[in-house]
Structure 1
Amino acid sequence: MVAASGQLGPEGSGFGNRLAFGRDALGFLLRQRECGDLVRFDDGLYMVNSPVLVEHVLKNTNGTYGITKDLLGEETDGSRASEDLARWMQARRLAGRGLNRGGLRAARDGMAAVVARYAEGWRATGRIEAIGALEELSARLIAEFCLGSEPGRVPELVARLQDARLPAAVAWPGRVSVLRRRRMRQAARDLAAEVSRLVAARDTGRDGATSVVADLLIEACADGALTFDGAVSVIVANLFAAHETTAAALAWLFLLLERHPQLRGRAVDEVDRELGGRLPTAADLPRLQVTEAVVKETLRLYPPLWYLERVLEEPDVLDGVALLPGQRVAVSPFALHRDPALYDEPAAFHPDRWIDRAAAPRVPGYTYVPFGGGPRMCLGAHFGTVAMVIATATVLSRYRLSPAPDCTPVFHTRTILQPKGLVLDVADREPAKVAR
């Protein structure tokens, strides 16, 4: 296939761009942005860098654009003609009702209690491997929110699937690679089986319990709008996606707070003032402005979904360039969020930009897409933000998490954007300041 012309990437050829991307993916994404709003990576892949083009691509997913791989990297039919896709989108819409603001209000203080229990365990050991510990916490939070306060073996099985899914640092040939994929598929089947068991149990044994995501999907099954397997599938996808992204973002957040002690102090003062020593609830969010701004700025600088890709299902024209079915278009939230045309001091950690929005210059939509956008936007976007605010406030009210002196975290992009090698020391926090 011969692509239409367009501005080539910074290395000037498809082969050169691929080499540069392989050596330093994030650095390449920042450099290619300087080549224009639409950049030709090679004949099969273009990159879009303006909010207008990003909005066009993401909003037209499931129509002009499709997704050809699922969360496990398996090939899938993402075309608009797929009946499976239509059922999947129906399930997503129903699950989204449980993950919205009303559903989170119903959760009350349950999330903070889970965080407090895990944080107490971290304090007992004194040191944690950040990504592993935070993934365990996030898996429990999303499992309870989707399935209720007794999520069975789901958190453990989510962790097993995550471990099986991680690609090898060095590619293994032949039989070893096949065995790894078999292990991953078995882990996915085991997780689906456990979710299926728990959903079926809720269907037959509910006695006025607080509604969770599973309950909404069960009702849809009873009405004939969704199959039971479809309900299980969408819960599994949400469990897996939300736990990984939330954990990575929290790891970056605690690292950033320690690198900016003045901001950490402001967040601690806010937590002490607004909570007075009790655990936070979703109702406290409007008063935790600094904490929420820290969360949003962390997601801007270090969006877990740092690279998104779509494939053309039908011809389209982007920035005057005609593209053909089968060609791909990529969006990088990491590069978009660091565009100096969109953000003042884009590389700086500056949470105040989210507090006084009325005084900030007006920017176009789709300049902030840490969870993607359009019909395939991450369903857990609001859940993830709220969970991060509650987790941050809970931890800051009691403990201090600081990087261990001997650890040197680095960017890790093999799956989502993580601080690889981050180890956190966990200590009791200094006494709260008493207002006079």
Structure 2
Amino acid sequence: MNTKPSGISERNLRKPPFFSGGARELVRAPHRFFLQLTRDYGDVVQYRATPEPAFLFNHPDFVKHILVSNGRIYNKDTHLNKYMLQAVTGQGLLTSENPLWRKQRRLMQPFFHRRYLARFADLMATATHETLDIIESYAAQKRPFDMANEMMTLTLNIVSRTLFGYDMESHSERIGQAVNTLIEIAKPKRKRFQETLKVLDEIVFDVIQRRRQRPHAEQHDLLDMLIQARYEDSGEGMSDQQIRDEVMSLLIAGHETTANTLGWLWYLLAQQPAVVSQIEDELEVVLNGRSPTVADFPKLTYCDKVIKEAMRLYPSAWSISRRALVDDQIGGYEIPKGSIVAVSPYTLHRHPTFWPEPETFNPERFTPEQEAARHRYAYIPFGAGARKCIGDQFALMESIIILPMTLQRFRLKLVPDHSIEEHALVTLRARHGILMTAASR
């Protein structure tokens, strides 16, 4: 099987195909636009998006080059990162650059190791029980509900409690509405955006200041960790502003992305009764009716495959963009300094060379044998390289708890004739939600 990038030859060396139109398509459905570009032009194509040259790369070799091998010569100075995300997250891990990014990452990395995160498993299970009780009320009334919205509420409760303990309980609804508004508007200059961000800032700064006044003797949540952490070189702690920026990054990345993954997961499973039946068989053997614990995670192998396949088809972070700091060459193509380079997990995860029948939902793609045989960078739901998402283990832990607990209690069906439409904003959402009905088991 030929796994080399397509579209490269002596004839077009250093001059990739150029798509001159597409502004309307790029705005309306950018993820599908990118997918069509790769189908029409191959693994490298230049397109019109900004005043600078913009290139879409769609091969694992190119992903490795941009995000790993030559990652040091690409930064996040792009429209998405600087104009949209940084307006909310400031100089947090999500958008900051070196040397601040490396300093913060080194300080925070130990607290996102799976051994540290295991302490939050019971909290995640408790929050899941609360959401399932709400779904139980819908089931009793035979009322449809928006599963995407329920997953947003659940993951917000989880990330809020792991960040702030229960200090934010009274603010959770306001935080959820604010985060949702910021992502939906995605235009920092708009008055409503600025007003919403101000509300969120007031809540977060208030909690930080109150926590500093009554610090815990031990680290009970991630906010304690941020406040108590000290830089190795100076022994100093983070400023309130830096803590605020990291909190905002964790709020946005820690609840929005996982909620979208779970929403799409339920959408897919509602169309896959055989897969659901196989999950139920595994749950019966491993859990026998009880909620999952950390010790169960390695045994829930089929659940793990299902979650990975959902993230393949619907990666929440559907696009990754970088700016070239110097001239570079990728796969024989010249990339001028200042160019925008884009990699789309949504498109990459549908590359037919690495994913036969790419639109088909098939968890068996993630057997140990299949994973070992596949190119390491053909699957990047959390990014790759030094800037791979720090919260990947947190997100996977949430999913491996929420999936079993939900299927233990309910059979879920899609509401007929409800339009499910992919909506690529900062993250990949369902434009009109995912309406479902639930029946108790």
TM-score by length of 1: 0.85
Q: Which moved more, 1:18-27 or 1:419-428?
A: 18-27
The one of 378, 381, 385 equivalent to 1:367 is 378
What amino acid maps onto 1:284 in structure 2?
D
1:240 counterpart residue number: 252
Counterpart amino acid of residue 369 in structure 2: A
Match of 2:5 in 1: none
The reply to whether residue 206 of structure 1 matches residue 206 of structure 2 is no
Q: 1:6 aligns with which of 15, 22, 43?
A: 15
- Deviation string for 1:274-298 (max 9, x for gaps)? 1122211222111111111111000
Q: Deviations over 1:134-176 (max 9, x none)?
A: 111101111222232443445334313223314459x9xxxx9
Match of 2:4 in 1: none
Equivalent pair of 1:317/1:323 in contact (CA under 8 Å): yes
Q: What SS does structure 2 have at the residue aligned with 1:344?
A: coil
Do 1:37 and 1:49's aligned partners in 2 also have CA atoms closer than 8 Å?
Answer: yes
Rate the CA distance shift 1:310–1:261 in 2: closer, same or farther, 3 A.
Answer: same
**Cα drift, residue 392 of structure 1:** 0.6
Q: What's the CA shift for 1:341?
A: 0.7
1:415 aligns with 2:420: no
Q: Deviations over 1:41-75 (max 9, x none)?
A: 13620011111111221236873111122584446
- How far, CA to CA, are the matches of 2:183 and 2:361 in structure 1? 29
Identity fraction in percent: 25
The yes-or-no answer on 1:165 pairing with 2:170 is: no
Match of 1:433 in 2: none
- 1:7-61 C-alpha deviation (Å, 9 max, x unpaired): 225xxx32x1333434543332222223233211136200111111112212368
The partner residue of 2:44 within 38, 63, 70 is 38
CA–CA distance in structure 1, aligned partners of residues 37 and 28 of structure 2: 14
1:115 partner SS: helix
Letter of the structure 2 residue corresponding to residue 29 of structure 1: F
1:49 matched to 2:62? The reply is no
Q: How many residues align?
A: 410
TM-score relative to the length of structure 2: 0.84
Check the 8 A contact 1:249/1:302 in 2, yes or no: yes
Worse overlay, 190-199 or 259-268: 190-199
1:230: which partner in 2? 242
Give the whole-Å Cα distance in 1 for the aligned partners of 2:349 and 2:23: 22
Indicate the residue corresponding to 2:323 in structure 1: 311
Which residue in the other structure is 2:115 paired with?
102
Question: C-alpha displacement at 1:270, in angstroms?
Answer: 1.4
Counterparts in 2 of 1:346-425, with a 5 A limit? 346-354=358-366, 356-358=367-369, 362-421=373-432, 422-425=434-437
Deviation at 1:214, TM superposition (A): 2.6
What runs of 5+ residues in structure 1 fail to find an aligned partner? Answer: 430-436
Please state if 1:17 is matched with 2:22. Answer: yes
Letter in structure 2 aligned against 1:17: G
**2:158 equivalent among 122, 125, 141:** 141
User: Which AA in structure 1 matches 2:33?
Assistant: F
Report if aligned partners of 2:16, 2:333 keep a CA contact under 8 Å in 1.
Answer: no
Separation (CA, whole Å) in 2 of partners of 1:214 and 1:149: 11
What CA distance in whole angstroms lies between the structure 1 residues aligned with 2:85 and 2:61?
A: 28
The one-letter code matched in structure 2 to 1:383 is F
CA deviation map 1:246-286 (0-9, x unaligned): 11110111111110001001112212221122211222111
